[in-house]
Amino acid sequence: MPLVLGIDTSCDDTGVGIVRADVVLANVVDSQTALHAEFGGVVPEQASREHLAVIDATVQTALERAGAELGDLEGVAATHGPGLVGALLVGLSYGKALAWGLGVPFVPVHHLAGHIAAASSEPPFLALIASGGHTALFDVDDGGGISELGRSRDDAAGEAFDKVARLLGLGYPGGAALSKLAEQGDDHGVQLPWPMQGSNGLEFSFSGLKTAVALLLQRQPEVSEADVAATFERIAIGSLVEVTERALRATGRSKLVVAGGVAANRRLREAFAGSDVEVLFPPPALATDNGAMIALAGAQVLAGARQGAKVLAGAQQGSGFKAEARTANTDPSLTVDASPYLPLARPAS
């Protein structure tokens, strides 16, 4: 069973993980949250520089935790997108150079395919990824092929939580604090608009809701902040759940994987409790950005190539990049497109 190292530097965390097939041996995340907190959001240039400063040490720590040496690695995977281009390039260049130096295959992995792989679940299933950077629904078919069903047309769900938290003076990233404040409020205490009202589609939208909160706070500064938090949370999570349920009905899937930082939300966790749908939340360390999920996706690609099976990590038509495993990384046809945004298969419409 191949030992695979995975790297994620798509945004503000340097993640390095090591797996053997689907077993996580190490998952080290060097978080930059504190670094960016004073700016109220991720500063891309700062993020790239910090990745560069810590990536080598993070790889060393992961090797120690896994009880492995560089020579034990049989594959290296790194996120090639989507993400901040300067940040991505650090992990991607490091990963490619490491693979080249070791003479092992390099697997470029789509960040969201990594989140899906973290669920370690047998396909078919539906995946809802809701983080600070992404909100999207994916269908994973019997063979593990991934296609996007819909995404947010504006803000990501976590981004909306963070922006509303900032309006309420809760700091950054404020999703968890906002959710805590919401526990003390009336979730019908104020009036806010339901996103994408009347839509039957599989898209999300959160910026109108966020703007409505900003306007409300301007017009009625005396309003209960807990009521605003509770009402916002009910609607934001309710809208996530509404679109996801629509996708479950449309696809007939009975299994749902929920990943990304917003998966920690209590309301979201409780939303599917009474339903027939089997809902899987990866453990928190695997649900937010990390390197182990990239290693898991990479290991699936390598195993798939060896077994001739269809594979998970975006190696499908229309994905705009080649993710097939190569037996030797000197293969001239090994191409990695490191452009900042590479979608999986586009929604049908």
Residues that bind ligand ADP (CB under 6 A): 11, 131-133, 158, 161-162, 173-176, 179, 260-262, 264-265, 288-289
Q: What angle do CA 25, 11, 53 make, to 5 degrees?
A: 75
Work out how close the CB of 261 gets to ligand ADP at its nearest, in angstroms, rounded to a whole number.
2
Cα 266 → chain centroid: 18
- Is 187 an interacting residue with respect to Mg ion (CB under 5 A)? no
Helix (H) or strand (E) holding 8: strand 3-8
Residue 145 touches which member of ligand ADP, Mg ion, none, C-beta under 5-8 Å by kind: none
171: number of Cβ within 10 Å: 13
Task: Output the DSSP codes for 203-241.
Answer: -B--HHHHHHHHHHHHH-TTS-HHHHHHHHHHHHHHHHH
Residue 176 interacts with, from Mg ion, ligand ADP, none (CB under 5-8 Å by kind): ligand ADP
What residue 95 binds from Mg ion, ligand ADP, none (CB within 5 to 8 A, per partner kind)? none
Residues 272-301 interacting with Mg ion (rule: CB under 5 A)? 289
Closest CA to 77 of 103, 98, 56, 53: 98
Instruction: Please tell me the distance from the alpha carbon of residue 106 to that of residue 226, in angstroms, as a whole number.
Output: 49
> Cα–Cα distance between 23 and 296 in angstroms, integer?
8
**3-class DSSP state for residue 174?**
coil
- Given the complex with ligand ADP, which of 176 and 342 has the nearer CB atom? 176
Which residue's CB is nearer to Mg ion, number 125 or number 172? Answer: 172
**Shortest Cβ 263–Mg ion spacing (Å):** 12
Closest separation between CB of residue 328 and Mg ion, Å? 34
**Shorter beta-carbon distance to ligand ADP: residue 180 or 322:** 180
Distance in Å, CB of 210 to ligand ADP, minimum: 12
State the greatest distance between any 2 C-alpha atoms of the chain, in Å, as a whole number.
65
> CB of residue 63 vs ligand ADP: minimum separation in angstroms?
24
Alpha-carbon gap, residue 209 to 234, rounded angstroms:
11
CB of 131 to ligand ADP, least distance (A): 3
In the complex with ligand ADP, the residue whose CB is nearer, 111 or 255, is: 111
CA 138/CA 116 separation, integer angstroms: 9
By CB under 5 A, the count of residues binding Mg ion is: 1
Q: Summarize as ranges the residues that interact with Mg ion (CB under 5 A).
A: 289
